[in-house]
Structure formats: structure tokens, C-alpha cells
Amino acid sequence: MTQSASDRSGLQETSYTFTEVAYHFQVTPEALRGWMRRFAQVLSPGAKAEPPRFATADVAALSMVQKLLEQGFQDEQINEQLTPKRIVRDETAPVALNSDQARQLVEGKAALLPHALGDILSAIANSQQTVLNSQSTVREVVGVVVQDNFNLKEENRKLRERMLEQERALAEYQRREETRKERLEGRLRALENTVAALQQQVAQLIQLQRQSQQKKRGWW
């Protein structure tokens, strides 16, 4: 719901967007466009603008249009019922009313005016309340969507933190394995060096033993 300047006296009238009115009546944009085209004569100039801005009276008129369509009325009948009747004066046959007749006519019209005005105001109030309820529902739905989005973001953040922890643990495990591998390789090299030294010592001992045997044979 938005506010827009409406009359020259500085007062402001509530106006509604095309989307808000379509949501209010639970119809498709094409259906609402069809109503605007078929019943343009009962709408205000603002509702015929681009983009359209619907006054409260426009919403009330469209509400009556919807009800009459549901009751099976034709477009001509609906336009006839919603279009204000013009009184055409018969200049050729003027009717002279006395004071009593004039007073009765005025009192009769005055008696009908509050009832008609009350019906119009009631329809306007009901339509406006329905639009407000629809807007409240939309806000609640949007609030739920936003909250779900926040929850998803929080779950995503926790998931990223767990993934980072797993990556850090894996990196630490790989570092330890590399250190262990280097230590094992160092020990293996040291063992190989020891075995080589022992083999060399054994070879020397064998050489000395052979030399000793050769000397003993020479003495004999």
C-alpha cells in the first residue's frame, strides 16, 4: 500500500499498485487487465494510467464487478449497474412541482442518500481491510522466507567451518606423516650405513685370516 496526492485540497488518498490489486482479488494479471478494459468506464483516470494506480473506489468497483461476474451478469448489465445514471430533463414537458411535492422529493432523495452512501463506504472499508490483510499475509510469507534464508546462511557457515576444521586436521596429519617418513628414511639410511660398515669389517677380517693362514704355511 502506498500514499499518493489525489486532490487539490492537499488531502491524500490511499492508492494500490496493479500487483496488490491482482493479489487482493486472487486473479491473474491477464484477468485484471481484461476487467480494466471491459469496465474502464467505472474506473478512475489513475487506474487507466500506466502504470495504473487504483484508488479505494476503484477497488470497491472491481469488487462489485467480481461479484456480479460470479453471479452470471453480462458486461453490459454490470456497466449499467455501476455507471451513475444521468437525469435527462424534458424541456418540452416541464413539470411544475408545488412546495409540498418538492419537499417530499428532497426528503425522499435525502432518505436514500445515507443508505447508498453507507453501502459504498462499507464496500470501500471491506475492500481496504481485505487489501491490508493480504499485505499482512505477504509480509508474513516474506518474513518466513527471510528467516529461512538466514537459517540456511547459518547452516552454510557452520558447514564451512567444519570443512575448514577437517582440512586443517588433514593437513596436520599429512605433516606428521611426512615427518615420520623422513625419520624412517633417516633410520633406514643409518642402518644401511651400519650394515655396509659391518660388511667391510667382515671382509677385512676374512682378508686377515687368509693372510695369517698363508704365513703359517710358509713356516712349514
pLDDT of 85 above 60: no
pLDDT of 197 above 70: yes
What was the pLDDT predicted at 137? 80
Q: Which amino acid is at 79?
A: N
Which has more confidence, 9 or 120?
A: 120
Choice among 43-52, 83-92, 104-113, 198-207 with the minimum mean pLDDT: 83-92
Mean pLDDT of the chain, nearest integer: 80
Sheet holding 2-5, edge to edge: 2-5, 12-16, 54-55
What was the pLDDT predicted at 6? 44
Choice among 61-70, 132-141, 180-189 with the minimum mean pLDDT: 132-141
Tens digit of each residue's pLDDT (9 = 90 or more) over 164-196: 999 999 999 899 999 999 999 999 999 999 999
pTM of the model: 0.38
What was the pLDDT predicted at 31? 95
String of DSSP letters for the chain: -EEEE-STTS-EEEEE-HHHHHHHHT--HHHHHHHHHHTGGGS-GGGGSSS--EEHHHHHHHHHHHHHHHTT--HHHHHHHHSPPPPPP-TTS-----HHHHHHHHHHHHHHHHHHHHHHHHHHHHHHHHHHHHHHHHHHHHHHHHHHHHHHHHHHHHHHHHHHHHHHHHHHHHHHHHHHHHHHHHHHHHHHHHHHHHHHHHHHHHHHHHHHHHHHHHH-
Choice among 57-61, 109-113, 147-151 with the minimum mean pLDDT: 109-113
What was the pLDDT predicted at 51? 92
Query: What is the spatial distance between Cα 180 and Cα 82, in angstroms, rounded to a whole number?
Result: 92
Nearest to 116 by CA among 138, 140, 79, 84: 84
Choice among 33-42, 89-98, 147-156, 204-213 with the minimum mean pLDDT: 89-98
Choice among 32-41, 137-146, 205-214 with the minimum mean pLDDT: 137-146
Percent of the chain with pLDDT over 90: 45
